[in-house]
Amino acid sequence: MKISFLLHNAYGIGGTITTTFNLAQALAERHEVEIVSVLRHREHPNFTLDPRVSLRPLVDLRQDKEHPLYLKPARVFPRAEYRYGQYNELTDQRIAECLAATDADVVIGTRPGLNVHLALQAPPHVVRIGQEHLTLDNHPPRLRTALRRAYRGLDALTTVTEADAAAYRRKMRLPGVQVEALPNSVPDPALPAADGTAKVVVAAGRLVPVKRYDLLIEAFALVAAEHPDWQLRIYGKGEEHDRLRQLIADLGLWNNVFLMGAAAPMEAEWVKGSIGAAASNFEPFGMTIVEAMRCGLPVVSTDCPYGPGEIIEDGVDGRLVPVGDRDALGAALLGLVRDDERRHRAGRAALRNARRFAPGPVVEQAERLFAEAVTARRAGRPVVPDRTPVGGVLISQGFAARDAAYSAASSALRVVRRGQR
């Protein structure tokens, strides 16, 4: 099977890039895999890519900014999408040409705007898999409306949590589209797991407001007051850096809390700690939580939507505390700091329980989904039997009938709207 990923910018840094690289490399064990990067701004990616996975860009920002279509706004990429300002008629054209010429059996979009391109422009032989790396509720209403229309052209849509998959099924009503939770995977660690003896709490991610590192620092002040020999190390970069540095100074935590900068890969830093921490208000999945657990660290996290609660078993391999509750976060950290045996036991449980996010189980689930979708498309029927009435038509005959019904329903709706003007 040939599998192609359509990615915003493979040359940057971010969770979607990491998870795409991880899944692509795992699939390359048994399939021909490529990553198509819409944008490119540097010679080599920040992350090392398995040589078995091919990488090709569509628009090179180092030279294509002079192209006349680059300055014209995108027409296909949805205007309400967060990245809309980085798309234009040139990206529209290059993506359309790429999809028209693809010989892949399966093409996977990795963000809403690219899923729209895929749903509308992929040729009939291609299985169209959209990925959601955020959550449905995170998207503005205008974008949800655009996605509800376009996503009907997908074969399947994957989310990173069961909660978000349920939200898509309940709110979007995508007839004939398989909606399934497919968690992110983390490669098997190359280093020995942490032994739980280091007096270090580790956190990692972009230094942005939603991650609430300010809350984590304030909570750690409670730990430092009782155990001044413990440290908090925060890895990452972002707009909050200077504000967080000032907060550390204001709380007198110069010798306890350290902004370590970005580190890739993080594995060598996780194993230097004994506890992982996350304080986000919102976390679609929680890649760093899984990374920490796979290195043997129990994780204390806010129980924010949606990821942490599906990763951490409270009281077993970590702790879940209410969002925004500094005292609860500090108390949960202190519970593991004070009790060596409890911390060691939770670390062993984290290592054991996080194996479900290893590449093997995730790839098996992805392969099953892809195979079912390929079989269904070749047979001319949706992955999910489609019996949803659209515009008064009961659809159950396959793609052609479904598309014709949607077209008829859309035309009828336009006529009604014209009559109401």
Q: Is-contact 412 391, C-beta < 8 A?
A: yes
Same domain, yes or no: 174 and 265: no
Lowest mean pLDDT among 154-158, 193-197, 264-268: 264-268
Q: Hey, what amino acid is at 48?
A: T
pLDDT of residue 275: 98
* Mean pLDDT, rounded, for 125-153: 96
Evaluate whether 267 touches 191 at the Cβ level (below 8 Å).
yes
Of 81, 279, 278, 285, nearest in space to 163 by CA: 285
Q: Quick one: 352 and 378 in the same domain?
A: no
Say if residue 338 is in the same domain as residue 307: yes
Label the pairing between strands 2-9 and 200-204.
Answer: unpaired
Terminal Cα distance for the chain, rounded:
50
Q: Could you tell me if 35 and 149 lie in one domain?
A: yes
Give how many domains the chain has, as a whole number: 3
Examine the fold and report which residue of 357, 374, 406 is the final residue of a domain before the chain moves on. Answer: 357
Flag whether 190 is in a domain: no
pLDDT at 395: 30
Whether 194 maps to a domain, the answer reads no
Q: Are residues 29 and 162 in the same domain?
A: yes
Looking at the structure, tell me whether residues 22 and 167 fall in a common domain. Answer: yes
* Cα–Cα distance measured from residue 33 to residue 243, given in angstroms and rounded to the nearest whole number: 42
Q: Is the same domain home to 167 and 59?
A: yes
CA-based nearest residue to 133, from 269, 293, 22, 25 = 22
Examine residue 105 and state whether it is found in any structural domain, yes or no: yes
pLDDT value, residue 380: 86
User: Which tokens in the block code for residue 282?
Assistant: 């919102």
* Claim to verify: residue 241 and residue 169 sit in the same structural domain: no
Closest CA to 184 of 30, 415, 19: 19
User: Are 372 and 420 contained in the same domain?
Assistant: no
The answer as to whether 191 is a domain residue is no
Examine residue 367 and state whether it is found in any structural domain, yes or no.
Answer: yes
In a domain, 193, yes or no: no
Mean pLDDT confidence for 119-145: 96
C-alpha span between 212 and 220 (Å, rounded): 13
Asked whether residue 178 is domain-assigned, the answer is yes
pLDDT reported for residue 385: 53
Q: What is the DSSP letter of 289?
A: H
> Are the CB atoms for 321 and 332 separated by under 8 Å?
yes
Mean of the pLDDT values across residues 158-163?
A: 96
* CATH code of residue 269: 3.40.50.2000
Given CA atoms 332, 335, 336, 338 in this order, what sign does their dihedral have?
Answer: positive
Cα 254 off chain centre by = 33
Do 326 and 371 belong to one domain?
no
By residue count, the chain amounts to 421
In sequence order, what are the beta bridge partners of 390? Answer: 393
Cβ burial, residue 82 (10 Å; 0-12/13-18/19+): middle
pLDDT exceeds 70 at position 112: yes
The two three-digit tokens of residue 397, written as one number: 């005959």
Distance of CA 94 to the CA centre of its chain: 24
b/e for 95-123, b at 16 or more Cβ within 10 A? beebbeebebbbbbbbbbbbbbbbbebbe
| pLDDT > 50? residue 396 | no
Residue 204 contacts residue 288 (beta carbons within 8 Å): yes
In this predicted structure, the answer to whether residue 414 has a pLDDT above a threshold of 50 is: no
pTM of the model: 0.84
Residue 397: the pLDDT is 38
pLDDT at 276 (0 to 100) = 98
Classify residue 195: in a domain, yes or no. Answer: no
**Residue 290, domain extent:** 200-357
Q: What percent of the chain has pLDDT over 70?
A: 91
176 and 89 in a single domain? The answer is yes
Strand-pairing partners, residue 318, are 299, 314
Q: Are residues 218 and 180 in the same domain?
A: no
